[in-house]
Amino acid sequence: MKRPVRTALVGFGYAGRTFHAPLIAACPDLRLEAVVSRQVEAVAEACPQVRVLASFDEAVADPAIDLIVLATPNDLHASQAEAALKAGKAVVVDKPFTLTAAEARRLAALAEAKGLLLSVFHNRRWDADFLRLKALIAEDRLGPVVRFESSFNRWRPEVRDRWREGDGPGAGIWYDLGPHLIDQALCLFGRPQGVSCDLAILRPGGRATDYAHAVLRYTDKRVILHADMVTPAPDARFAVHGARAGWLKDGLDVQEDQMKSGLTPGAAGWGVDPRPGVVIDGATGTREAVPGPPGDYPVYYSAIACAIRDGAPNPVPAQEAVAVMEVLEAGLLSAERRAEVAL
* 194 strand-pairing partners: 217, 342
Cβ-contact 307, 108 below 8 angstroms: no
pLDDT digits over 252-274, tens only?
999 999 999 999 999 999 999 99
The C-alpha atoms of residue 116 and residue 119 are separated, in whole angstroms, by 10
For residue 233, the tally of other CB atoms under 10 A from its CB is 8
Cβ-contact 40, 13 below 8 angstroms: no
For residue 220, the tally of other CB atoms under 10 A from its CB is 8
The C-alpha atoms of residue 61 and residue 55 are separated, in whole angstroms, by 10
Residue 24: which of 35, 13, 37, 38 has the closest Cα?
35
In this prediction, residue 1 has a pLDDT band, given cuts at 50, 70 and 90, of low
The C-alpha atoms of residue 265 and residue 244 are separated, in whole angstroms, by 37
Burial degree of 163 (CB within 10 A; 0-12, 13-18, 19+): middle
CA distances from 314 to 7, 72, 120, 134, 320 (A): 17, 21, 10, 19, 10
The C-alpha atoms of residue 264 and residue 46 are separated, in whole angstroms, by 12
Crossing angle for the helix pair 318-337 and 101-114, nearest 10 degrees?
Answer: 170
Residue 82: which of 52, 55, 116, 54 has the closest Cα?
116
In this prediction, residue 180 has a pLDDT band, given cuts at 50, 70 and 90, of very high
For residue 94, the model assigns a pLDDT of 98
For residue 239, the model assigns a pLDDT of 98
For residue 212, the model assigns a pLDDT of 98
Crossing angle for the helix pair 101-114 and 77-86, nearest 10 degrees?
Answer: 10
For residue 2, the model assigns a pLDDT of 83
pLDDT digits over 68-122, tens only?
999 999 999 999 999 999 999 999 999 999 999 999 999 999 999 999 999 999 9
DSSP SS3 for 191: coil
The C-alpha atoms of residue 241 and residue 248 are separated, in whole angstroms, by 9
Cβ-contact 108, 187 below 8 angstroms: no
Q: Peptide bond before 96: cis, by omega within 30 degrees of 0?
A: yes
CA distances from 206 to 160, 163, 210, 229 (A): 9, 12, 8, 11
Residue 87: which of 109, 50, 56, 120 has the closest Cα?
56
Single pTM value for the model? 0.96
pLDDT of 321 strictly over 70 = yes
Q: Please, what are the domains in the chain?
A: 5-123+299-315 (3.40.50.720), 124-295+327-342 (3.30.360.10)
